[in-house]
Each structure stands twice: as C-alpha cells, then as structure tokens.
Amino acid sequence: MSSREAVAPVRRGPDVALTIGAALTLLAALIPLLRVVAPGWWFAGTLLMVALIFAAGYVARRFALPAVAVTLIEAGVWLVLLTLMFGRSTALLGVIPTPATFRSVPPLLEAAAQEIALGAAPLAAGVPLSFMTIAAVGVLAMVIDHVVLTARMPLLAAVGLIAVSLIPAIAVPGEVEVTSFVLLAAGILFLLRAETRTREAGRVQSSTAPSGVSAVASGIGAIAVVVAIAATPLLPVAEAQPGAGFAPRGNSIDPSLELGSDLRQPRESEVLRVRTDASTTPYLRAATLSEFTGRVWLPDVGGTTPLEDGLEEVDVNDDVRVTEYTTSVEIVDLTSRWLPISYPAVQVDGLEGTWAAMMENRTVVSEEFASNRQTYEVVTHLPRPTLEQVRGAEAGLGIAPDHTKSVPAQVPAIVVDLARQVTAGTTTDYDALVALQRWFRGGEFTYSLDAPVDDSFDGTGLQAMAEFLEVKSGYCVHFASTFALMARVLEMPSRVVVGYLPGTSTGESVDGETVFSVMSSQLHAWPEVHFEGIGWVPFEPTTGLGVPTTFAPASVPVTPDGTDVEPQNADGATPAPTSSIPPGEPGGPPLVGSSGVEAAPFDPLPILAAALVIALLLAVPGVFREVRRRTQIAAARAGDAGAAWRELQETALDMGIAVPASESPRALGKRLVSAHGAPPDAVAALVEGIERSSYARNGNHQFGHGPQLADAAIAARVGMMTAADGRHRLLAIAAPRSLLIRPGSVYADGSMTPAASR
C-alpha cells in the first residue's frame, strides 16, 4: 500500500465547535478591557460584531469558498455593521457607506485618541471611543478567524489573544481577574484540543502513531491553570520602588469603594507635591461617596457647573469664624478625572482644559481631561467653629438627600449594637462622634493592609464591616465606611471621602512655603458628618493615620490667621504627653513609615507557606509515577508480562532514554544492557516474557512466571538508576517523562536528551 493510500487528506471544512470556541475565547480575552473602558452600549456592539463575523466565516466555509473569499465576506460584514452603528446619517439606505461616510472616520479616530490620551480609567466611552473599540475588535475577530479556522494555527492565535488580554492590565495595574484568566485559559486549551482532534480524525491511525497526545497536553494545561489559581495568591508580592516598573497610564483613583479590594496598591510612587500658607498641610479630597448600596459606596455624580463660573462662598452661621488659605498643587503622576483639592474650595486657578465643580460637595471633575501634569492653586475658606459651637449644633442637613442618611436593609446587629454602646452617655451629636473616633483610634483596633486578607474577610459591604468589627483590624476603607454607617445608624447624615493624606516634607521651600510630597500609598478614605450652620465636618477614625478631629473652646486665643495658639483635644483638654517608649515596643506607638502607613513587622509565614505549597506541587509527578510503578509491578507479579515490559520502557523514558516504536524488544533490551547498565539476566527474562505473551493465543499477556517478571523489572530499574549520573537519577524521580510521553510515540524517538542518543 502506498503512502498516498495510507494517509487520507485532512478535511478543512467548517467546524462548529472550533468556530464557537474561537469566538468565545476572543471575548474572554476582551473582558479585562472593562478595566480600561467603563461598561456601556459599546460592549453589546462588540458582542454583535464578533458573533456576526464568525457566523459569516462559518457560512462561507460551508459553501467551500476559498480563504480570500471568506475574509472578504467577513470584511463586508464588518463594514456594513460599523456603518449601521455609526454612519447611518451619511450612508445609502443606512447600511451602504458613501464618500461622506468615509470622511467622517478620521475625526472619530482623532477624537477617540484624545479620549484615550487625556482620559482616566475607567474611560466613559463616547461615540468616538466606541467606534474605535468596536472596529478594532472586528479586525481582531477576522484575524483570529483566519488563523484558527483557515490556517489551523491555534497556538499563534493563543499568543495574540494573551497579548490582547494583558494590555489592559499593563495600562491600569490591579489585581488579577481570575474569572477572565480562567475563561481565556479554558478557551485556548479548547482550541488546541479541538484543532488537534480534527487533524487526528483526518488520518488513518497506525500502531506507532501517538496516542492521546492532545488529551495529555490538554490535561497538563488544565492542571497548570488550577495550580496558577491556587498557588499565586500564596506567593509574596514584591513592592515596586518609586520610579520602577512600567505604568504608562500612571496612578489613578477608583472612588467606588468595594471593601476588601480598594486602596491596596502594589505600586509605590510620588503622585503629587503640595505647599500651603496654612499652619498645617491639608488633606486633599478627590471624590465624595454618599450612596451606600449595602455592598459598595458610590461616588456622587451630577449637579456640576463650569469651574470658570466660580464656586459659591461657604454658607455658615454668622458667628462661625472662617479661615482663608491657599494651597498649591503639582500633579506628578496621577491620571484621574477627579482633581485632588483642599476643602472647602472657593476658587481654583491654573487648570488646563475644561473642568466642572460639584457644588454639593465642592469636588472638581472633568469628562474630557485628566489631572496628570496639572499645576493649580486652590483658595479655601475653612470654617473653624469653637468647641461650644460644634457641640451646640445638630448633625443634620435640613432637607437632606436620602442617600446621605439611608441605611441598607439588614444591617448586621454588631454594627448597630456597638454604635449605641460606644456613644452611650454622650449628650450631643458631636460628642457621640468623638466617642466613636476615640474608640476606633484606641488600643482595641490595629491598622493593617494584610489583616483583612489573613482573616479572610475581603468580602463586600456589610459583610466586611461586621467582620472588621469582630477582628478589629483593617485599613482606612474599613474604618471610614464603618464609622459613616454607624453615624447613619445614629440618624446623622454622613458620607465617605476619597483623597490623599497631607504627605511628608521634602525639605524644599518655595516662596517660604515647605513642599510636601504625597505618595501613591497615601491614598486615603475618611468619613464626614454634616452639622447645621457649620457644614461637613471630617473625622479621622483610622488608627495610626492622620490627625483626629479637634476643636478649641472659645477661651483659647487665636493668631491673626485664625489658627489656635494651643492645640486642644476634642474634649477641650490639653494633649497627653508623647510616649517615651520606642516605636514598635509593647506599650509604645506603632511603627509608621514615611508614607504614614503603619509598617508591619516581617512575617515569614507567607513565604514558608508558599515554599511548602511549591514543594508539594513539585512532588506530585514523582508520587503519581511511584503509584503507577507499584501498580504495574503488582500486575507483573500476577503474571502480566505486558505490565512488566511497560515498566522497563517507562523507566528508560524517565531517564531520558529513547524508546522508539521501530525498535524490537530484543534490540531495546540489548541497548539497555550495553549502554545503560541494565542487568543482562533481568532484561533477558523481560524480553522472553513479552515475546512469549505477544505470540500467545488470543493475545493473552498472562505469563506463568509472574514473580520472576516483577523481580526482573525491579532489578532492571535498580541497575539502570545505579549506572546513570546524578542529574538523570534526579529527573527520573522528580520529573518522570513517562507521565507525558508514551513508549513508541513520536516524542519517544530519541530526541529528548543527550542520554537518549547513547
């Protein structure tokens, strides 16, 4: 029989499973894009584009059209769909593009480029960015369809899809999205498996053909995915140094506080520089969050006016003094549509681009421009009531918006009970809030970026708050959000603010004002409560960070700029003396780094746990091989000559020795004896056993001298292991190749290692 007759041609017709798998894998690769572009109608358009292009390709292949025709049909679908979505007004019949339609494309691309260059993630996709995204995904869909379905090169497509999925992670660093990773990995494994099976189905299988190679490869890939998901969270994460790494979009601010995932940023770099003529450097706010859904705090939106129209004056009671100061801010590395400013701002000068102010919370935002590299000045009018005035005011907002006082259903009992217990005995709203602040900053709570993870309460919203109050350890998001909710439980309007701590002095001075440097790790959250006649009053419940809220009694004199001569505690008493105990020692203050974050002592347990997990994973192949060896030896002892011979072949494979299908048992045995130290008597017994069983009636592999076969297989392995060098012995035990490569397969033909060629 000629070779032309032996091998049938591989059929390249349409494959439903492969087409659907390629489309779904492409969509899985696009999921991380939602980190860069906010979800919107563009995503539905993307889904439609991918579905129609792959469907058109499948139908074209059903009619056995050439590859060029398939691509042209898909390009036609791409063009018509884009025209229908974005060019109906200039198209013929709404779907056929005209010269005017094509002329509208460059302005769209230019506007989209502006959105990307000046915007901050997640970008709000307008028409230009939606057009660019859907068009680019359509082109990518045509490429993937051609590479996978026409060229049958799924591995090349996999490389491209992985690169596409990594781009959003590089642009906006953050935690790994496990769901998209699993979907993408599963899709790639499916493509490889499905395409390999179509190739195998087109060939006539012979006894020497590789058996189950694609299944084994798919199994290895699936195991690798599981190991990556299980082991990666256990590995220690190295904190990048300032200026290290590649982050083309720089730092950003996501004001939607989803407890357990926000404000733990691995990248450390300088975000801005601040100087002020005030007596103390102020906090800089970026956004306020008033609506709490029970799971997440949502940033305030709407009600903006152009910044050039000016900001309203601060509305306070006539007897409340107001201090004016100016703060200069230089953005070093912060790409955000929310501008960090001091509060309450009445004037902002020096900004480039179009910015708007939310009068309700005096934050500054932009839909088109970003904060990076901006330099501006903020004039602030800060209400400074006396202790008597703030104690005499009620925590209220007149006709307050519901979202500043609303409490989610089914608030955990621990939140309600502790709010009432801690404030019991107080007679004013302010005293109740100070009691809460003092309780959070007392010795019961600790600040930690790791404790929430270690104690497994990186949940969301109410669940995280309840667990935080149980373990009494967390970071600013837990302190601020829990304080705000407790204030609402006590029927006081509250909100959470996201911004930056004051920073640390650089030692530099400009116009007599000290320059402070603010790092990315100083991104912070704190609560505010509104008092009638005074305004929103910030509090600082986070232990170890910032300065707690204080007001001086009317009897304390003030300087000409309106600042208190002698700082007072919230209750009017003088501050307690500083502890003489060294930081970090029992009874002393906590260790605090230059960024203002409490420095946790080195904990070797995560590293040891990761090392243990890695060691166990490395031992898995050896354990599986030992179980298989014992099973085959037991079968040989029962008289199975085939099991004894397979054990000899697999031992050779484990040591990197070729076991080709073209070599007879006698030839293989002779080579193992002469070149690899196998005992002659043991090998002779195994060769005799496999030959006799091979010619037995009905293919019966049972041999009458089972114990001798088992002993011979053991002796052959011992002899070959003794004769091998240390490296091959270690590989045979720790990384046995026989788990992946079968004797007689194309991968066992002698090209594995130098040992195989001897």
Nearest residue to 474 via CA among 535, 565, 397, 545: 545
pLDDT reported for residue 230: 46
Whole-number Å distance between alpha carbons of 596 and 543? 11
Largest CA distance in the chain: 112
Residues 197 and 325 in one domain: no
| 404 and 324 assigned to the same domain | yes
> What is the C-alpha to C-alpha distance for residues 480 and 429, in angstroms, rounded to an integer?
18
Residue 533 structure tokens: 């006649």
Q: Residues 338, 471: one domain? A: yes
User: What DSSP string runs through 442-469?
Assistant: STT-EE-SSHHHHTT----HHHHHHHHH
Instruction: Give Cβ neighbours of residue 244 (< 8 Å, ≥ 6 apart).
Output: none
Residue 44 included in any domain: yes
Q: Which residue has the tokens 């088992």?
A: 710
CB 553 within 8 A of CB 387: yes
The verdict on 379 and 493 lying in the same domain is yes
| 191 and 327 in a common domain | no
What is the DSSP secondary structure assignment for residue 351, as one 8-state letter?
-
If asked whether residues 524 and 624 sit together in one domain, one would say: no
Q: What's the CA gap between 621 and 627, in Å, rounded?
A: 10
Return the structure tokens found at 723. 């004769």
Q: Work out the burial of residue 163: count CB atoms within 10 Å of its CB; fewer than 13 is exposed, 13-18 middle, 19 or more buried.
A: exposed
What is the model's pLDDT at position 161?
78
- Nearest alpha carbon to residue 748 among 651, 636, 677: 651
Say if 20 falls within a structural domain. yes
Tokens encoding 394: 């009620």
CA 98 to chain centre: 44
Q: Establish if 124 belongs to a structural domain.
A: yes
Res 229: pLDDT? 46
Residue 368: which of 164, 551, 549, 113 has the closest Cα?
113
Residue 411 belongs to some domain of the structure: yes
Instruction: Tell me: do 49 and 182 sit in the same domain.
Output: yes
3-state secondary structure of 377: strand
Give a yes or no: residue 137 inside a domain: yes
Report helix, strand or coil for 748: helix
- pLDDT in the model for residue 151: 76
Note whether 49 and 175 are same-domain residues.
yes
Long-range CB contact pairs, 77-86, < 8 A, 24+: 77/52, 77/53, 78/49, 78/53, 78/135, 78/138, 78/139, 78/142, 81/48, 81/49, 81/52, 81/138, 82/131, 82/134, 82/135, 82/138, 85/45, 85/131, 85/134, 86/127, 86/130, 86/131
CB contact at 8 A, 249 and 491: no
Half-sphere exposure of 583 (CA within 13 A, CB side): 9
**Do 325 and 464 share a structural domain?**
yes
What span, in angstroms and rounded, lies between the C-alpha atoms of 264 and 478?
12
Same-domain status, 101 and 177: yes
Cβ atoms within 10 A of the Cβ of 76, count? 11
Which H or E run contains 270?
strand 270-276
Contact 648, 686 (CB under 8 A): yes
Point out the domain boundary residue: 508, 538, 568.
Answer: 538
Report the domain count for the chain.
3
* Alpha-helical segments (H) within 99-205: 99-103, 105-118, 127-145, 154-171, 178-201
Q: What is the per-residue pLDDT for 352?
A: 83
Q: Which of 538, 572, 597 corresponds to the end of one domain?
A: 538
Taking the CB of residue 355, how many other CB atoms lie within 10 A of it?
Answer: 22
Tell which residue, 539, 540, 496, 502, has the closest CA to residue 522.
502
For residues 196 and 298, membership in a common domain is answered with: no
* Residue 701: both structure tokens together: 């592999």
Q: Are residues 283 and 189 in the same domain?
A: no
210 within a domain of the structure (yes/no): no
Q: Does some domain include residue 175?
A: yes
Residue 495 belongs to a domain: yes
Question: Both tokens of residue 284?
Answer: 């800089």
Burial of 229 per CB tally in 10 Å (0-12, 13-18, 19+): middle
Report the alpha-carbon distance of residue 702 to residue 682 in Å, rounded. Answer: 18
DSSP 8-state secondary structure symbol assigned to residue 33: G
In whole angstroms, give the CA distance from residue 312 to residue 383: 14
- Collapsed DSSP state (helix, strand, coil) of residue 479: helix
Q: What is the mean pLDDT of each run of 10 residues along the chain (758 residues)?
A: 39 68 84 78 88 90 83 90 87 84 86 65 75 89 85 76 72 60 76 62 40 46 48 42 32 60 57 88 88 82 78 86 91 84 89 83 78 86 90 78 80 91 91 92 82 48 84 86 91 90 87 88 88 91 84 69 42 35 37 39 61 76 87 89 90 89 89 91 90 70 72 92 87 84 74 42
What does 495-524 look like in DSSP terms, one character per residue?
EEEEEE---EEEEEEETTEEEEEEEGGGEE
Residue 101 phi/psi, 5-degree rounding, is -65, -45
Q: Which domain holds residue 678?
A: 607-757
Q: Answer with the one of 518, 538, 558 that is the final residue of a domain.
A: 538
Q: Helix or strand or coil: residue 244?
A: coil
For residue 514, what are the β-bridge partners?
509
Instruction: Give burial (CB, 10 Å; 0-12/13-18/19+) of 243.
Output: exposed
